[in-house]
Amino acid sequence: MLARTLKIAATTLILGVTTPVLSETLAIDGQVTIKPSGVETPQRGSSMDAVQAKFGEPSNKSGPVGSPAITKWFYPHFVVVFENDKVLHSVVVSG
């Protein structure tokens, strides 16, 4: 009985350790984008003014569209998606 309990405990521990790590993937205008580490992007909840002050003028903008208003700002290495004037997502454009 003790051997069976230890075997179940060991199996549970091994399965818990080998759980795969998933990353967020977001498609914007048909491009698959991910946010790998090492590229600085605006944090969720930042204002449009704060993003522009830190990262400068975007190379392109789209929106606002819908309700709530969704706007996208395009930078050379990432895209920022705003809901109203707050960052909803910021993702790195994969090559």
CA distance 67 to 70: 7
pLDDT, averaged across the chain? 77
Tokens of 76: 């050379």
Residue spans of the domains in the chain: they are: 22-93
The model's pTM: 0.62
Q: What is the amino acid identity at position 24? A: E
Mean predicted confidence (pLDDT) in 33-39 = 59
Element (DSSP H or E) covering residue 7: helix 2-17
Confidence of residue 22 (pLDDT cuts 50, 70, 90): very low
Mean predicted confidence (pLDDT) in 73-87 = 95
Give CA 56 to chain center in angstroms.
Answer: 20
